[in-house]
Amino acid sequence: MSEPGVASGRAGGDDSPARSSSSPDRVVSALADADDRVVEGALRPKRLSEVIGQNRVREQLSLVLEGALRRGRAPDHVLLSGPPGLGKTTLAMIISAELGAPLRITSGPAIERAGDLAAILSTLSEGEVVFIDEIHRLARPAEEMLYLAMEDFRVDVVIGKGPGATAIPLDIAPFTLVGATTRAGLLPAALRDRFGFTAHLDFYEPEELGIIVRRSAGLLGVALPEDGADEIAGRSRGTPRIANRLLRRVRDFAEVRGDGVVTRDCARAALELYEVDESGLDRLDLAVLGALVRRFGGGPVGLSTLAVAVGEEAETVEVVAEPFLVRAGLMARTPRGRVATPAAWQHLGLPVPRQAAWAGRAGRVVEWAGQEDSGGDGEATLFG
Ligand SMILES: Nc1ncnc2c1ncn2[C@@H]1O[C@H](COP(=O)(O)OP(=O)(O)O)[C@@H](O)[C@H]1O
Ligand SMILES: [Mg+2]
């Protein structure tokens, strides 16, 4: 799993959309590699008050936790959704720390049978926090067991097989489930509805990332002047995990080629070497954008066709590349497929084709520049 050059995401359970063999050299991949996991432990904020950005989520969550603490009861179950690297695992750990409750960590893919889940739930002590990462990958029988556990703090343990099998109800201690998912849309409504509090994490602003890298530099003992921090923050794809990784790569560069101080020039030179462009787009992002524009004339094109064109799994394109491309205003999702925006051509240094060539085909835009998928109301066209 930690072998360099081998996709570690799939087995790790932590942010694990399928990855192709080309992924590991992506210095800006939002997915955690083995190296990240070691360092991330040290860089994770431990309390809610240390969390940078996500102001609304932080405030809402602090009310949920504070309320529960005052009542002396386990808070509602919490669902955290959003692209990889934005702080879902961090928040799960913080929830347990703020409640002063123990934390059990598992993931959807790790729970293969309902029995695996029963083993966890039946041994909980009161108030414990159970974190299920990638909860959209939970197998069906485990998911059904979870419904009952979340609602009634009960599991049905099935004894025997076939027609003679009986279900024995077993009470479990009140607990708080924290679920994390990169694909909230895949969760069955029945499961989604059982979470009393849902937080969607969004990409961070460069100023927030600047604060995050400066904090990390402090913890890692890296000399990082403000302009160096800004340079890294601006190329981090709105993602703290990437900001922290770029910091480590730039530090290497500064130590080997310079005097160890991460100045703006040093950060620029290092990031150029690692092929991170000025907006933080990496090879996969550029491949997706390039295919969309050059091969499909700007779309609309279906996700799977686009994924095949760049030699990646559809899930990787959808979870890793698309959210940021949409947020950056380079790509939009329409009912008929993915389309490039005029900014995509500009970004690739190509002349923008005349509107008529493609806007007519694009149809209605349902998601545009970071706007949530509205399911179609709020009609907009590409040129407004
Ligand atoms: N709000 C934040 N403030 C500071 N650092 C953060 C924040 N969110 C995430 N990080 C950093 O980014 C890394 C990745 O976060 P993580 O919680 O593992 O993301 P996710 O589980 O959503 O993929 C963490 O190790 C942490 O250092
Ligand atoms: Mg995680």
Let me know whether 15 and 151 are in one domain: no
Give the per-residue pLDDT at 165: 86
**Which of these three, 246, 273, 300, is where a domain ends?**
273
The alpha carbon of 127 and the centre of ligand 2 are apart by a number of angstroms equal to: 22
Give the per-residue pLDDT at 19: 41
- Which one of the ligands is nearest to 87 CA? 1
Give the per-residue pLDDT at 382: 41
- Tell me the β-bridge partners of 339: 332
Let me know whether 246 and 113 are in one domain: no
Let me know whether 210 and 343 are in one domain: no
Judged by DSSP in three states, 336 sits in coil
Let me know whether 90 and 107 are in one domain: yes
Give the per-residue pLDDT at 26: 62
pLDDT tens digits for the chain (384 residues)? 333 333 333 333 344 444 444 444 466 667 777 777 777 788 999 999 999 999 999 999 999 999 999 999 999 999 999 999 999 999 999 999 999 999 999 999 999 888 899 999 999 999 999 999 999 999 999 999 999 999 999 998 888 888 888 888 899 999 999 999 999 888 999 999 999 999 999 999 999 999 999 999 999 999 999 999 999 999 999 999 999 999 999 999 999 988 989 999 999 999 988 888 888 898 889 999 999 999 998 989 999 999 999 999 999 999 999 999 999 999 999 988 999 999 999 999 998 887 534 454 444 444 444 333 433 333 333 433
Give the per-residue pLDDT at 370: 38
Give the per-residue pLDDT at 300: 93
Residue 384 forms part of a structural domain: no
Give Cα separations from 66 to 46, 71, 73, 89, 99 (angstroms): 17, 9, 10, 20, 9
Residue 252 forms part of a structural domain: yes
Give the per-residue pLDDT at 27: 67
Which residues carry out catalysis?
88-89, 133, 182, 241
Q: Determine if ligand 1 sits within 6 Å of the CB of residue 99.
A: no
Report which protein residue has its CA nearest ligand 1's atom 17. Answer: 87
Residue 292 forms part of a structural domain: yes
CB-count burial class (<10 Å; 0-12, 13-18, 19+) for 132? buried
Give the per-residue pLDDT at 239: 94
Let me know whether 128 and 96 are in one domain: yes
CATH of the domain at 115: 3.40.50.300
Let me know whether 185 and 54 are in one domain: yes
Substitution site in 8, 28, 44 for ligand 1 pocket (most atoms within 8 Å of beta carbon)? 44
CATH of the domain at 295: 1.10.10.10
Q: Determine if ligand 1 sits within 6 Å of the CB of residue 43.
A: yes
Burial of 217-239, coded b for 16+ CB within 10 Å and e otherwise, reads: beebebebbeebbbbbbbbbbbb
Let me know whether 57 and 142 are in one domain: yes
| Ion ligand 2 residues within 5 Å by Cβ | 14, 88-89
**Which of these three, 146, 175, 200, is where a domain ends?**
200
Domain that holds residue 224: 9-43+204-273
Rounded Cα gap, residues 38 and 25, in angstroms = 18
pTM: 0.82
Q: Considering its fold, how many domains does the chain have in total?
A: 3
Residue 324 forms part of a structural domain: yes
Give the per-residue pLDDT at 353: 84
Residue 118 forms part of a structural domain: yes
CATH of the domain at 37: 1.10.8.60
The alpha carbon of 27 and the centre of ligand 2 are apart by a number of angstroms equal to: 18
Let me know whether 20 and 60 are in one domain: no
The alpha carbon of 89 and the centre of ligand 2 are apart by a number of angstroms equal to: 4
Residue 114 tokens read as: 């309902």
